[in-house]
Structure 1
């Protein structure tokens, strides 16, 4: 009998990790700037989220934008891998591509090697850089030789439900690597994703934080965001609980 997929929730705070834990998540992925696709959180934030009790997979991404990283950026992320593991991360979420859209196996190997220097087992996940690669299934086939634990993917599609065929192919192409479906996942998508044979389902379960009444808003950054858009995301406990119920129903 196939094991029920795990539930991973993307969070940005201890409160988000608490909401995930209290509503049935198996683990969390931690980042900051979720509205930019996520970047590496501080050591103090990793410590605070790890104290909430769930295993914490920490995104190591030194900047927003593409996944083609130069030598300085790779060196920085190697140092960040070591830092977040020392701060209590159960795993790291990493990735890099070459300019022609292939998996940058040299950079990924360096990041994975940095994680393996810990004095305890550490998960290493390839993040959604794979979805911007020229051939996500071919990239997934390289992961066993790199010693990665899992891969987070939408199958190269804008949303995981649209990439089911590629996700199924990744499961076959990367034996021993956990394929985790993520990216635009809706609650209604969970049964089909589970049927595709994924090891886990990843949701952000996010909602925009409400603006406080009476607060004054002045634009501080580029892009012309409105007062409603210029905010941060928080974890919706109801979405986490509903996702847990949907996964439990796939048993």
Structure 2
């Protein structure tokens, strides 16, 4: 999708991507204005690789599905076995109908793991070519753990990365505006997508940096369906809340869509 410079000739509304964990979430995203979804499981853990069956079901909803490939929670430094597993997961989610994959890896010193990212990207592009189609490869927020996200972004085109999800190296995208703009300048061949603690009120400032898309989880806790008492399944106090899960909030998706469209109209008017 081509994007014009905000406020300039040919300006378009930035794309809206919603992180979902189910077909129901994908339908909510579709019906309230999302352009695509990122599919994962374990959203409360920062997202993990979804099952092949989940990819098939969400792809049937009709929006482009970008599947997160992350084999475990925690840091982004992977051993050889984990890397091989994620290569297989990349191929699996593409075979199941994903329009793109979301990957990333770092070295122990916090630099972008160029070799691993290139291997994951190559596996994705090879799998897509085998099916006679192209796809997007997104680098996820591992880039925000790098000392210099803009310098890391400049490496991405050579690795076959078409998009990067980032908060600009800050705790939230709204706090990373300067770095987001620097990343856009450093990697003109890569779509920069702002994500990380995004609230609807943040969207105008994010779009003003020139980002190509905005990413939200738009999540809310589901009402528990159980009856009776709940026995915690883990050792932490947080396990007391494990009798529920996150679902996609239609109101948040709709508000984000309106904010993006309003910003687009203001820039073109």
Shorter-chain TM-score: what band? Answer: over 0.9
Counterpart of 1:95 (choices 104, 112, 118) is 104
- Alpha-carbon distance in 2 for matches of 1:215, 1:178: 48
User: Contact 1:144–1:176 at 8 Å: present in 2 too?
Assistant: yes
Deviation per CA, 1:143-183: give whole Å up to 9, x if none.
Answer: 11112110000001000000000000000000110000000
- Alpha-carbon distance in 2 for matches of 1:176, 1:163: 20
Give the aligned CA root-mean-square deviation in angstroms.
1.1
- Alpha-carbon distance in 2 for matches of 1:230, 1:64: 20
1:85 aligns with 2:98: no
How far residue 5 of structure 1 moved from its aligned partner, in angstroms, is: 0.6
User: Contact 2:21–2:40 at 8 Å: present in 1 too?
Assistant: yes
- Alpha-carbon distance in 2 for matches of 1:11, 1:230: 19
User: Contact 2:124–2:137 at 8 Å: present in 1 too?
Assistant: yes
1:54 aligns with 2:63: yes
User: Contact 1:211–1:228 at 8 Å: present in 2 too?
Assistant: no
- Alpha-carbon distance in 2 for matches of 1:139, 1:171: 12
- Tell me which residue corresponds to 1:177: 190
- Tell me which residue corresponds to 2:244: 231
- Alpha-carbon distance in 1 for matches of 2:117, 2:255: 34
- Alpha-carbon distance in 2 for matches of 1:51, 1:229: 29
- Alpha-carbon distance in 1 for matches of 2:228, 2:222: 13
The alignment covers a number of residue pairs equal to 251
Deviation per CA, 1:162-210: give whole Å up to 9, x if none.
Answer: 0000000000000110000000000000000000000000000000111
Counterpart of 2:143 (choices 108, 130, 141) is 130
Q: Structure 1: any 5+ residue segments left out of the alignment?
A: none
1:205 aligns with 2:218: yes
Q: Structure 2: any 5+ residue segments left out of the alignment?
A: 1-8, 265-269
Choose 209-218 or 65-74, whichever is displaced more: 209-218
Deviation per CA, 1:213-237: give whole Å up to 9, x if none.
Answer: 6343111123222534552100000
The 4+ residue runs of structure 1 with deviation greater than 3 A are: 226-230
Counterpart of 2:29 (choices 6, 12, 20) is 20
Q: TM-score, normalised by structure 2?
A: 0.91
Deviation per CA, 1:118-156: give whole Å up to 9, x if none.
Answer: 221011000000011121111111011112110000001
User: Contact 2:224–2:243 at 8 Å: present in 1 too?
Assistant: no
User: Contact 1:81–1:115 at 8 Å: present in 2 too?
Assistant: yes
